[in-house]
Structure 1
Amino acid sequence: MPDSLPPLEPNGTQRVLIVSPDTFGRKMGGPAIRAWEMAKRLADVAQVRLASVKDSSLTNEAFDVLTVGDDELRQQVDWADVVIAQGEVFTLHPWLVESEVVIVADVYDPLHLEVLESAKDEGPEGRSFLVKYCVDMLTTQLRRADFMICASEKQRDFWLGHLGSLGRISPETYDADRSLRNLIDVVPFGVSSEVPEQTRHAIRGVVEGIGPDDKVILWGGGVYNWFDPLTLIRAVHALSERRPEVKLYFLGMTYPNPAVHESRMAAEALRLADELGLSGTQVFFNMGWTDYDDRINYLLDADLGVSTHFPHVETAFSFRTRILDYLWAGLPIVATDGDGFAPLIQDHRLGAVVPAEDVDALVDALEQTLFADDAEELRENVRTFGRSLAWDRALAPLIEFCLEPRHSADYPTSRIESLDAHRARHIEVLEAKILQLSDQVGVTRDKLVVARDELDRVHASASWRLSAPLRLAGRLARRIRRS
């Protein structure tokens, strides 16, 4: 990460379009928060438009906030010098890989690892489909992007392996920069540079059962399948027998994007708290989601922030964004070992790290941190370290790139190969659909051969466009239905 920030140039000439598959509103999840903070900082040096392909209800004086369909997105991409996109954007709008605009892919979230846990509720076929879907989605971005950003050095090593398997670590990209930092660099989630100020109490004396002098443990985000709230609830149960003033508050149980359903782990956490008789006495759940600008009032009503998770591969490559809010608010942290933040918590004396699924160790860590004689010194350690991770500093490599956007050293090869991969994938999907339809309506093998021949002709056509599979699928479906 550069030691110095680029100079501010209000009304800069570069035009930057940031596109998110998440919703922009008073209640926002991680992808939307990240895109929003990018827009705020980039607006100091460039002309910025922030677009959601789902929904947006926010405004900002420094940049435009848009909700875009496919046609509107095409117009915005034509306007832009550089497009920064996250997640499903390329899958929902596959023509982006065909565009000649400079593209930045934000791969801070390894979704294909996350979905190994989150999709367990979907059944074997649904889970396999979602994992493959996420792999395809991420591979599309890595093939085409001119520049990629991720959340940590460990993630960067992970993505370099993926890029190497795709042939993106080539003589061209290596000779352009032997470190490959101009191909993929680290842009972590940042900490707000604003001084945290409480405007109201949100937990103490407001939530029935939590008094002004209680010790409040805050779970600062959603409850997903890769997290372990169950060990934490059991630890609070054990600790409360001798420390009844200890209370645990879950900040959000319902993700603001309606497309994200309640997780199995959230339901299990609610059930366990009820079974242990803790609901409303020691353990409390906000069944909605907290407004982004209001979250500081919850953070400053807490004494401790927690993050507990299971020991699996998602943990190893995760970047727990809720911990950054703890740093901003000066909250000491108790977290499970195994993720990227654990060594930082230990090395900078920000709290305590415990083994996964160890109730006794978690009880001791919670008690020692909550009732430490040097609690204020610990808080100051957290605040000081948090300031070193401010958004301005975190975004420096991205800002530097957007001031002088450029295609990757292997462009246009990367674009051509990403187009070829898209075509092959669409052929594969169409073939699977044809076979599925044939099982349903008994189409003869001869008719399937004719359909396959048509696929081959389309694949060989120089006039192929990524919208062609949709038109072709319609024609083939009508033909099969007639048969």
Structure 2
Amino acid sequence: MPDSPADPLGAQHVLIVSPDTLGRKMGGPAIRAWEMAKRLAAFAPVRLVSVKEATLAHEAFEVLSADDDELRRQVAWADVVIAQGEVFTLHPWLNETDVVIVADVYDPLHLEALESARDEGPEGRRFLVGYCVDMLSTQLRRADFVICASEKQRDFWLGHLGALGRISPDGYDDDHSLRNLIDVVPFGVSDDHPSQTRHGIRDAEDGIGPDDKVVLWGGGVYNWFDPLTLIRAVHQLTRRRPEVKLYFLGMTYPNPAVRESRMAVEAVRLADELGLTGTQVFFNTGWTDYDDRINFLLDADVGVSTHFDHIETAFSFRTRILDYLWAGLPIIATDGDAFAPMIRDNGLGRVVPAQDVGALVAALEEVLFEADGAALRENARAFGRTMSWDRSLRPLIEFCRSPRHAADFSAALGLPPDAHHLRHIEVLEAKILQLDDELNQTREQLSSARRQNGL
């Protein structure tokens, strides 16, 4: 029986708003919203809305997409609104309503942007990082309740809340721990039993057979990850262990607004240069369906997550690790994030220094060929059960049982929008200029092509 709160939420209407696409193929933000809706629907009327696109359906709650007008109607229905990311920036009126608002800041977007925005050039990068800071400040300034992914993240966001004046006498007197204002709701592990219905990798991917050792990169490739060290390690290891095969689960994010990353391009280029593509390294150029991912996970022998030693890593919460735990996969990960001590302390696999090819080769060989794989798998499954969605969502369910405005709600609502609306206008202006530059470059390329062809 699920380990969850016993008392119903009553008639509280809960609206969950995702900035991401809700469909068969989903990224982390959409998955998190979907799993929240599934659990909360057991206790309250729930609606799940995407401000992009929604093609999913569920018998327990309504799923829909919404433009600004439709979102206003949905918010009018709700007692509680749970939202994340750009929702508060794209729809600034939401911050001025009196509905109870839960801000989900499990993803420190401004830290990600330090790396992801490198592809936008120096000016674009500075702008996007600033935009993310303003976006997060807007929701933290207004939120009645804030949820994040780890205790380390909570400390980080408490600093941001303090700078915004949200650590106030009213809030402190309401709860000295400030758990009433911000609590930890990690990304969870699926409660479903992992069952394979087909092979996603073995004998399904030309070049990977039933007896090969499959190393799984279980998600997208973004600029804050380090697939290059992993590819080099596999290159070294396969000289004496040719049965080792590295499989990248997804290269094209399902939200079309998210462009291919520089690191994804570099990973493919390196594998090509080393002659590994299609023999030792394999790329799924699309994205795996959410409900089909278990067929890939259960075809793997080890799950990997390699990244750089920087600020994004320190406050990250790698959602792919949760899937590895669900599937009972041994884990090899770079040190420095929230999962590293969990892996070390619970016998889940191996932790290696950042960008250390030799250490990664040794860890892969040990886990794949020397370690007690059955023990590592059982440890992963057992630890995963402690991080189920039913457990991780407890603080959110408890809040939605008795939703309330923050102790300093009147002050928070009365804060002037200051730079927010101006920043929103600047964002639109900058985007127009960027698109205009891209259009001019395309025109020049077409003109050059016509001249070369005598047209």
Give the TM-score category using the shorter length: over 0.9
TM-score normalised over the length of structure 2 = 0.92
User: How far apart are residue 372 of structure 1 and its match?
Assistant: 2.6
Distance 1:432 1:55 in 2: 22
- Would you say 1:150 and 2:145 are equivalent positions? no
How many equivalent residue pairs? 428
Distance 2:108 2:376 in 1: 32
Q: Which segments of 5 or more consecutive residues in structure 1 lack a partner in the other structure?
A: 435-483
Distance 2:313 2:326 in 1: 22
SS of structure 1 residue aligned to 2:381:
helix
Match of 1:305 in 2: 303
Distance 1:197 1:12 in 2: 35
Distance 1:89 1:61 in 2: 25
The equivalent position to 1:296 in structure 2, one of 270, 294, 297, is 294
Distance 1:236 1:96 in 2: 49
Distance 1:302 1:364 in 2: 18
- 1:445-460 superposed matches below 5 A: none
The equivalent position to 1:254 in structure 2, one of 252, 265, 270, is 252
Match of 1:5 in 2: 4
Match of 2:238 in 1: 240
- Would you say 1:367 and 2:365 are equivalent positions? yes
TM-aligned CA distance change 1:134 to 1:429, over 3 Å = closer
User: How far apart are residue 377 of structure 1 and its match?
Assistant: 1.1
The equivalent position to 1:192 in structure 2, one of 190, 193, 214, is 190
8 Å Cα contact 1:8/1:44 also seen in 2: no
User: How far apart are residue 367 of structure 1 and its match?
Assistant: 0.4
- Would you say 1:101 and 2:99 are equivalent positions? yes
- Would you say 1:426 and 2:421 are equivalent positions? yes
SS of structure 2 residue aligned to 1:280:
coil
Runs of 4+ more than 4 Å apart = 427-434
Match of 2:121 in 1: 123
TM-aligned CA distance change 1:432 to 1:368, over 3 Å = closer
SS of structure 2 residue aligned to 1:224:
coil
TM-aligned CA distance change 1:145 to 1:366, over 3 Å = same
The equivalent position to 2:203 in structure 1, one of 185, 202, 205, is 205
The equivalent position to 1:275 in structure 2, one of 265, 268, 273, is 273
The equivalent position to 1:59 in structure 2, one of 54, 57, 60, is 57
User: How far apart are residue 116 of structure 1 and its match?
Assistant: 0.2
TM-aligned CA distance change 1:432 to 1:4, over 3 Å = closer
Distance 1:348 1:145 in 2: 35
SS of structure 2 residue aligned to 1:371:
helix
User: How far apart are residue 123 of structure 1 and its match?
Assistant: 0.6
Match of 1:405 in 2: 403
Distance 1:294 1:432 in 2: 37
Distance 2:124 2:174 in 1: 42
Amino acid in structure 1 at the alignment position of 2:396: L
The equivalent position to 1:111 in structure 2, one of 109, 112, 115, is 109
1:292-339 per-position Cα deviation (integer Å, ceiling 9, x unaligned): 000000000000000000000000000000000000000000000000
Structure (1 or 2) with the larger CA radius of gyration: 1
8 Å Cα contact 2:131/2:423 also seen in 1: no
Distance 1:185 1:225 in 2: 29
Distance 2:174 2:126 in 1: 38
User: How far apart are residue 4 of structure 1 and its match?
Assistant: 6.8
- 1:80-91 superposed matches below 5 A: 80-91=78-89
1:3-24 per-position Cα deviation (integer Å, ceiling 9, x unaligned): 9731153x84110000011010
Amino acid in structure 2 at the alignment position of 1:5: S
1:55-88 per-position Cα deviation (integer Å, ceiling 9, x unaligned): 0000000000010010110010010000000100
8 Å Cα contact 1:70/1:93 also seen in 2: yes
8 Å Cα contact 2:183/2:395 also seen in 1: yes
- Identity of aligned pairs, percent? 75
1:365-394 per-position Cα deviation (integer Å, ceiling 9, x unaligned): 000001135111111011000011000000
SS of structure 2 residue aligned to 1:378:
helix
8 Å Cα contact 1:203/1:210 also seen in 2: yes
Distance 1:432 1:161 in 2: 26
Match of 1:50 in 2: 48
Amino acid in structure 2 at the alignment position of 1:218: L
Match of 2:447 in 1: none
Match of 1:25 in 2: 23
TM-score normalised over the length of structure 1 = 0.87
Amino acid in structure 1 at the alignment position of 2:60: A
Distance 1:374 1:121 in 2: 42
SS of structure 1 residue aligned to 2:110:
helix
Match of 2:452 in 1: none
The CA RMSD measured in Å over matched residues stands at: 1.6
User: How far apart are residue 94 of structure 1 and its match?
Assistant: 0.4
